[in-house]
Structures are given as structure tokens and as C-alpha cells.
Chain A
Amino acid sequence: MELLTIAMPKGRIYEEALEILADAGVPVPDDLTKETRKLILTAPEAQLAFFLAKPMDVATYVEYGVADLGIVGKDVLLEESRNVYELLDLQISPCRVSVAGLPDKKTVNGRIATKYPSIAEKYFRSIGEQVEVVKLNGSIELAPLIGLADRIVDIVSTGQTLRENGLIELETITTVTSRLIANRASYQLKYKRINQFYDQLKQHIERRGSRDEDRQSE
């Protein structure tokens, strides 16, 4: 059996991604579930290797083929436009990419602070608004509070961080969930292995989906 290497995103999606793999019956190394400083972990009997990476880098690792597969938010795919196959919507970590700002504040400088300059640029161009996009790497909510930018473009899931900082969600650009992605060469060379992995996850997602529906209809 060929080895499959999977890039896992650290942070927001990690727990849920791990859970969906485990629930679908993918043998996940114990160390992955624990706090660990190891970067590469293997499940030798299943010929699987996992490594942890920054979410923004997952798509890069997969594009260059050092990972065959990766789990990554759609937000990263929209931002990075990497040349990878987007195989499966894992329907985990749902959230929105939104424009947020201070309530009742008139736009003064048209400046947008964001971790997603490319998404922001495209969005404002599509609605015909001229803005200046400022790239930040974290604590985006700070920008309107201290006057760096009028508004921000960022990920919103519950909206708690926004509320705590007195910001409101103004517009939703798009909704995102996490995706299974594949390197182009791996997908064509290891198609049997990857299709098997894909089926395993897909069946699990469908089962879970219909369970949720049952629960809702009760």
C-alpha cells in the first residue's frame, strides 16, 4: 500500500478535522490528539503520515506535493488560489468571511484591515467600491478600534470576538467550511488510495448529515 501524507491545519479547524477523521474510521495516531511538539506523526499500519502546518500553508504544501492531501478552510483556498484539487466539503468548522466595523461610523479613510487581502480586494471591486486594503497577520479586530482602518474583513463564526470588541458584522462575503484537497500529481498517481480515503470520509459525512436531519425532524 502506498503512503499517503496528509497536511493538517493547526488552530481553529484542527479539533474538528481530527474528530471527523477518527469518526470516519481513519486510524489517527494517538499523539495527534494530545498536546505534542512533534511535527510529523505516522500511523504505519495504515500507511498514513500526518503533519501539522499553519492553515495558510496547508494549501502550499499540497500544491508542491510534499503532502498528498490536506484539510483546509475554503477561506484559505479563496485567498491563496493554489493549484490543487478541491475534493470534498467536510462540512466542519462552518463560518463566514465578513466585513465588520464599528456601529454608526461613517467611512472616512476607506481602509480595510484583513488577513485576506485577495478576498477583500476582489469583493470590494465586485461591488464597485474603492478601498485601500491593509494586510495584518492577527488581531484584526484591533484595527478599527485604534483607527488603522474603518472596517475589517475577517472570519466570523459565533460573532463573539466582534461583540466583545464592540464591532458589528456589516456584510457577509461568503460562507466557508473545511475542504479535503489533493495534490494534482498525487491525485492522478495514487487515485485508488485517494478515492478509497475520499469514499470513507464521504460516507461518514452523508451518514452524519442524515442523522442530523433525523434529529431535526423529531
Chain B
Amino acid sequence: MSPEAFEKPIGFQDVTPTLARKKREVEARLSHVFSSWGYQEVMTPMLEYAETVGKASAISEDKMFRLIGQEKAMLVLRPDQTAPIARMVNSILQHEPLPLRLFYHASVFRTQEQAAGRRAELYQTGVELVGEPGVKADAELLALAITALQACQTSKFRLVVGHVELLAGLLASVCSSQKKQTQLTNYLIKRDYVGFEALLHQLENKEGVAEILQLCRGLDKKEYLEPLLSHSSTQVVKAAKQLIRIWDILADYGYASYITVDIRLLGNIDYYTGMYLEGFADGVGFAILSGGRYDQLYGQFGRSLPATGFAFRMNNLLDTCNIDMMETKQTTLFYPTPLRKTAIAKAKELRDAGYIVVLQIDDEQTDLVWRET
């Protein structure tokens, strides 16, 4: 039978021993960093109800794997980890003191339109900080992400930060038509900056448009945001204040240089409510992490709580971690059958001393023989 006959479903991948070792190593380093910052690991089921967690998820329903559960309810394969954690926090963890600091290592599942090469199972390691509003929490997350990336020896990296309210406020200040604001936002979602600028240039408030375009550059110092503090829109002032404070806090960590603000950066606009972030590293064309503040989600699980979080996209992160995986040498211990008991004892002795030992019967031998293989 050719392997084709027993191949796996499209979008799913096996993990080879070498990659599995690297993945475990990176996960261990991330766990270590998260734990040392007071975050605790949680695990949730791989299946959830479509009606509850499925609906609350930031992932659109057409991207979920669906199946029918034994009580005939529609189930989904966990499309993200944030919604299941919200369910958990508002049920079995509801009496825990807030804020809660949680982390996870999990696979999430998404059907892919463009089949070739796109993954349906994505490995994620992430954190959620629940019950803490405001910039302190947002800044903690950014600092945690940077510390974690350093611990994984990530190549040169950068976190890009946007703010839902800042963008909305800026667009509203140059354009009163709700329809045009949506159009502008849609261009940004499609990452079509040509369309975005062309539509801006049609607007009448030339001064406001020029100001927005001026902000559409890599803003790598908080000074670039300071003029916004005297903006006519209170929404803009508030969001700019938050970003500046986040930057100040990160400066105390010594992390200010890892941050760029991009006012055009948008995540799922129905989901994120404040700061939004994505991380990029040399050598990988895709984001290695994303996240932000989502203060609306918990209300869907019966108790409204402010929350902020991010997840590393492990498939991308692993490509950029320069961790030298030491090839540990393996020793094979050959023994003749009558010496089995001695061989087992010897193997234990060697393993206790840190060797990797494989036992191998070899009746041609008269005594124990071991060598590196």
C-alpha cells in the first residue's frame, strides 16, 4: 500500500522527533517565564458547544470544524483558547480572587479555504490576564511577551501596537459618515493602504487627513503620539494617553525600543476593544504572536470582566527561535541473554549518570558491550 492510502486529512501535520523536541523546549521556556510572572497553566476540552463557546469565539463560524455530539448538540473543535478560558473562569473559577493570570499550551483548529499548505491545526501558547482593566495590565502583557521572546532566543523582533479607539476616533474626526468610516476600516482590514489613502484624500477635512497620514509611519517613539494629547476628539486623547502610559511603563522595563505604534493595525474589530498587538521576527513572513484587550467577551458568559491576552503562533515562532538543540548521544548496550539482569542494572547505572541507553540482545557477545550510536 502506498502512503497516499493512509495519509492524514488536509491541513494536518505530523511532528517529527526533531521538531517535537524543539517545540517542547520552547514551550518549557515559555512556561517557565509565565510561571515566574505568576501565571498558572490551565487546560480545557478540545470540544466545545457551537452555541456557547463557538459563538463567543473571535473566529468566524465558517472556519470551525463542526460535529454532532452524543446529545445531538452541535459541537466545534476548539477554534481558539480565549473563549473556552472565559467559560471556565466564569464557571468553575468564578470564586477565585481576581485578577486571574492564566496560560496555556493548546492546539486550535480552523478550516482553511486555500487548502495547499495552510494549516488546520495551529499550536498556540498564550496568556490571559482577567479582571484587570487599564494600561497596567496591557503593559504587563507586552513586557511579558518581550521577556518570553528573549527567553526563546528569538531573532530580532518587534511588537506592533494599535488601538481600536484611537483609530475609530481619528476616522470619526475627519469623516462624519458612518458608511465611509466603515469603508475606511474595511480597507485596513484588507491591508489595502492604497484604497485607504485614496478614500481619505476625497474627504474635506484636509488638515485632519494630513495628520492621519503623518501618523501612518513607523511610530517608534512615544513623542510621535504626544501631539494627539491636544486632539479635539476626547476618544483620541484617551487612547493616545493609554498608549503613552504603556510606553512609559515599558521604558521602565528597558523594553521601549521593541515597540512600534501603527494606528492602522487592526485585529477582529468585533472582538478587540482597546490595545491590539502583533509581533514579528526576522526570518518569518507571518506574525509570531497576536492579542489585545477584549472587554466584551466575558459578558457573554454571564459576568462582565475586563480582560487582555495574547497567543504565540507556535508554528511561526519555532521557525525563528535560535535554540541549539544539542543532539544528545545515544548509547546501545549489547548483552547475551544469560546476562540480562546484569545488563538491566548496568543500564540503570548509566541512565542515572545521564546517558541515554537502549538495551539490545546480542547472543554473539559473551559479556556486556556498549557504544555510542
- By a beta-carbon cutoff of 8 Å, the part of chain A in contact with chain B is 63-66, 83-89, 179, 183-186, 188-189, 191-192, 195
Contact = CB atoms under 8 A, between A and B. Distances in A.
B286 interface: yes
Given A63-B285, A83-B191, A188-B278, 17 more contacts: A64-B285, A66-B285, A84-B191, A86-B194, A86-B195, A185-B280, A185-B282, A188-B158, A188-B262, A189-B156, A189-B157, A189-B280, A189-B281, A191-B217, A191-B220, A191-B260, A195-B218
Contacts of B339: none
Contacts of A66: 285
Contacts, number: 59
A65 B284 CA distance: 7
A184 B157 CA distance: 13
Interface string B147-183: 0000000001110100000000000000000000000
B282 A189 contact: yes
B192 interface: yes
A146 to B, nearest CB: 31
Contacts of B224: none
B361 to A, nearest CB: 49
A86 B158 contact: no
A65 B192 contact: no
A93 to B, nearest CB: 15
Given A188-B262, A191-B218, A195-B218, A86 B193 contact: yes
For the complex of A and B, list the 7 residue pairs with the smallest distance between their C-beta atoms, beginning with the closest. A65-B285, A191-B218, A185-B280, A86-B192, A188-B280, A64-B285, A89-B194
A170 to B, nearest CB: 26
B74 interface: no
A174 to B, nearest CB: 12
B28 interface: no
A66 B285 CA distance: 7
B287 interface: yes
Interface residues of B, number: 25
Contacts of B156: 189
Contact of B194 (A65, A179, A184, A189): A179
23 contacts: A63-B285, A65-B285, A65-B286, A66-B285, A84-B191, A86-B191, A86-B192, A86-B195, A88-B193, A89-B194, A89-B198, A179-B194, A184-B280, A185-B280, A186-B285, A188-B158, A188-B160, A188-B262, A189-B156, A189-B280, A189-B281, A191-B260, A192-B218
Contact of B158 (A65, A87, A189): A189
A53 B278 CA distance: 29
Nearest to B288: A185
A64 to B, nearest CB: 5
Contacts of B192: 86
Interface in B18-72: none
> Of B157, B193, B280, which is in contact with the most chain A CB atoms at under 10 Å from its CB?
B193
Contacts of A64: 285
Interface in B170-213: 190-195, 198
Given A185-B280, A195-B217, A85 B285 contact: no
Contacts of B280: 184-185, 188-189
A117 B280 CA distance: 33
Contacts of B190: 86
Contacts of A83: 191, 286
Given A64-B285, A66-B285, A188 B260 contact: yes
Contacts of A191: 217-218, 220, 260
Given A195-B217, A195-B218, A185 B193 contact: no
Contact of B287 (A88, A184, A186): A184
Contacts of B281: 185, 189
A70 B287 CA distance: 19
A186 B280 CA distance: 8
A88 B285 contact: no
Contacts of B191: 83-86, 184
A87 B285 contact: no
Nearest to B285: A65
A95 to B, nearest CB: 16
B194 A88 contact: yes
Interface string B319-340: 0000000000000000000000
A185 B194 contact: no
B285 A185 contact: yes
Nearest to A185: B280
A85 B160 contact: no
Contacts of B283: 65
B260 A185 contact: no
A87 B287 CA distance: 18
Given A85-B191, A86-B194, A189-B156, A183 B285 contact: yes
